Structure 1
């Protein structure tokens, strides 16, 4: 809706509806979820639901947007110009952060993925997440090139799309699609793929220098 509730009680009630809706959507899926069940989960009346949301669709879209924002709020390869370890270390940290965030949200991400196939608004929310993540990754690749760590011939936009898509798809298949992989080896393999694709030195993980040719 246009504006959130002004009172503290109203904000708490709205937050309970978002939390309760998320629990019901995770349990029942979108199509089977009922407003009555969401209201019961949030411990509010059925009529109170409509004071905060027009429909279960509007509630779901807000939940989807909150979840997608959390996914791209992971640690970046570098933050505010601060360098934390080597280039490979920073890529490893970003991959681990993304996989952990996706694992926490896997139940609702399954539903978001399903709804995005037929709901244009939810699909646009996912596209906005992808665009934001792509921009962050482009910036990260550019920084690595400026440091002399990444192959300067690589186009940062292509790299961001390909490597970001690889990690996102891997997370989806690992936590939703039933792939059976342990977290630590998955992080390491994704990090090697990232590093090798960019031409980083993986023989010495503490090095920020490009691989010798």
Structure 2
């Protein structure tokens, strides 16, 4: 689970009950922003969904902008945690990318609202929007570099490759996670891994 130390400065919960309330507010914010968008979402809507008093909101957040920023960072952290947890111990090279994609696709299906939230962050919170994608690309590049060091992947422009892989994963999540979740995620990830491993050139017979 992503850490819930996402409260406004000076408002980090110190008790288990406080952390539980903060988690409820973040989950409610995901539903509110995901359904209504940043501009139409309201603090009262968030607290109503969370089943908390309005005062509880201000115990942890200064404003709607503050909880939106916290939510973007929280969801970004949860994506990272989910992808990492999906990679089996000892996996290397393309296997790691395939398994990480499986984890992300499952997350996208369970949290379809992430696409609207991240997209709106481009304008509502550009810094967090950029941090989300830069952080994701950095993690992918690190995996690619480790694969190259172990001899399972080629050396080269890992940063460029990481952004290309991330772009592919994002749109696979949109197509097969949000718009249509009927196909097995393992099947989608296998096709993507084949593309990464074999490319698009015709195979020699």
Instruction: Indicate whether the TM-score tops 0.5.
Output: yes
Q: Distance in 2 between matches of 1:76 and 1:17?
A: 25
User: Counterpart of 2:107?
Assistant: 101
Moved more, 139-148 or 159-168: 139-148
Gaps of 5+ in 2: 1-7
Contact 1:103 1:175 (C-alpha < 8 Å) held by counterparts: yes
Q: Distance in 2 between matches of 1:143 and 1:52?
A: 39
Contact 1:72 1:129 (C-alpha < 8 Å) held by counterparts: no
User: Counterpart of 2:84?
Assistant: 75
CA offset digits 1:166-200 (Å, max 9, x no partner): 21232234334x36772233111111112225xxx
User: Counterpart of 1:18?
Assistant: 26
- The partner residue of 1:138 within 137, 141, 148 is 141
Q: Is 1:167 the counterpart of 2:169 in the alignment?
A: yes
Kindly report which structure 2 residues correspond to 1:1-213, keeping only aligned pairs within 5 A, or say none. 1-3=8-10, 4-73=12-81, 74-75=83-84, 83-84=90-91, 87-113=93-119, 115-119=120-124, 121=125, 123-152=126-155, 154-176=156-178, 178=179, 182=183, 183-197=185-199
Using structure 1 for the length normalisation, give the TM-score: 0.75
Q: Secondary structure at the match of 2:151?
A: coil
Q: Distance in 2 between matches of 1:147 and 1:13?
A: 44
Q: Aligned-residue CA RMSD in angstroms?
A: 2.8
User: How many residue pairs end up in the alignment?
Assistant: 190
Shift of 1:42: 2.1
Higher helix content, 1 or 2: 2
**Quick one: structure 1 residues 50 and 139, their matched pair in 2 at CA, closer, same or farther if it must change by over 3 Å?**
closer
Q: Distance in 2 between matches of 1:189 and 1:125?
A: 31
**Quick one: structure 1 residues 181 and 124, their matched pair in 2 at CA, closer, same or farther if it must change by over 3 Å?**
farther
Shift of 1:36: 1.8
Moved more, 156-165 or 143-152: 143-152
